[in-house]
Structure 1
Amino acid sequence: MGKVTMWIILPRAARCRRAVYAGVGEPTERLEQAYADEVREDEDEGDGTRREGHAMDVTFGGATGDLAHAYVREILHPAILHHSVRVWLLADHLGRQQDLKGAEREALAVACLFHDSGTAAPHDGAQRFEVEGADAARAFLSEHGWPDDLGQQVWEAVALHTSPGIAERMGTLPRLVRLAVLADFGRTDLLGTEGRTELTEALERFPRLDIEAALADAVVAQALRNPEKAPPSSWPGGLLAAHLADSDRTGGGNPAF
């Protein structure tokens, strides 16, 4: 029987998300505190209403994009979730400069939100995390009735986001996701100057939470369990090789990141 994916929005509880991302490295004390703060922000306000944490004013291009955010919010490590939302904000900023609208813009949101979903336990399959995330994103869109051509563009955007020189030439969505990922890791020269103040303010609402360490640890943890997920010359392969070369390293992050 093939793998069946059920898109269930899980109850918001600390034990739920902790269980989902268990095994990708113990969160630091700062991550634990940030997570606890986020959970408190989601609790009832006493008047029957609920706040949606730091993402309360962020939209994701439409109903499917909002559902994608609700889903990944329940499965991703907090640092990787914040990174994914920042990548969306950055990609949307770049996309607006190209007049990206409608379904293509919403597909971009889904690609950004799912681009690291392969690091989460529900999508920790036999393939590289990029491919697992791409499969998950395409399945999500298919389950919500999206056309195959947009699903394929999203698949390519997610699968190729760690492939320099390739993603940039594979079409609008792969290029925008790749550039947004680069921008979130320091390539702010890619963003231009228009609208930078508003963009910076939006990004600051999603703290980095040691994303470099969290993401590298998640990828390496999967590769240690299944080295085929980190083939040589791939980005996961580089992270795994650096870890194995100095497995007793403490602090400082993975040098291959």
Structure 2
Amino acid sequence: MVVVLGLLVGAGHAALAQEAPTSKPVTDPKDLRELAKFEEMMDVPGVARQHKDILYRELAMEAYKNGDKERALKMFMRAASYADKPSQAAIADMYWEGVGTAVDRPRAYAWMDLAATRGYDRFLAKREYYWSQLTEAERAQALRVGQDIYAEYDDKIALHRLQMELEFTRRNVVGSHVGFVGTGKVYGFTHTMNTGRASTGLPRPGGNATSTSGSEQDLGLPIANLSELYRPSIWKVNDYARFKDIQWQERVESKPTVDVGDLQNVATPPAK
């Protein structure tokens, strides 16, 4: 079926990453150590979903698995507006295959071209395959459609959009307009992290809270230090995008893949 969608739906937490080329393996131990910390902090309940690229991609995958392909496409579009490359590639596949929308091969090519702008091997290969299948008229149309898509979803625009969201969330939770973090700890209950009890849906920083009756209210177990939770790789857009790339490269791109074709009916031999 659709290779990109298969990766996204089946990759679990590795699907938090953007795809990076296998020809550029990560060898810097410092990057690998930061990747481990990046993944640990992104696993803190509520953190990943404060990143709009991840939030909308997760909603898209959920809709896709539940059979609501039209909603999946809409959610992938929202994720794509925050520079999420796998979502952009998923959109391309859906237009190419006519999943959740009518078949539109020129538009599919334009989306895959955008997904490949960071030089990721699989998306580059898929883009070239699409181009080879287009007629001359479709190629001309793809170039025209691509101008409109790039005008709204190009990385320069989409990453800036994501940056604004991340900065707002970080300032809102930390409570400092200049970004001061401090040395406190984050406490919380795992089952209440995504209920919106904090203004952003993240666990509140602090220790004990006083209830309206004046008694002490336990906020749960310590989850992370503030300095760890608000590290640049989580909230600074350039660092964040870089470690998404590294994560996909290490957890997905470095793994061998098999491209399975469409299902076919196979005649069952008669019983002997």
State if a TM-score over 0.5 links the two structures.
no
* TM-score bracket for this pair, using the shorter chain length: 0.3 to 0.5
Structure ranking higher on relative contact order (CA contacts 8 Å, 6+ apart): 2
Higher strand share: 2
Larger radius of gyration: 2
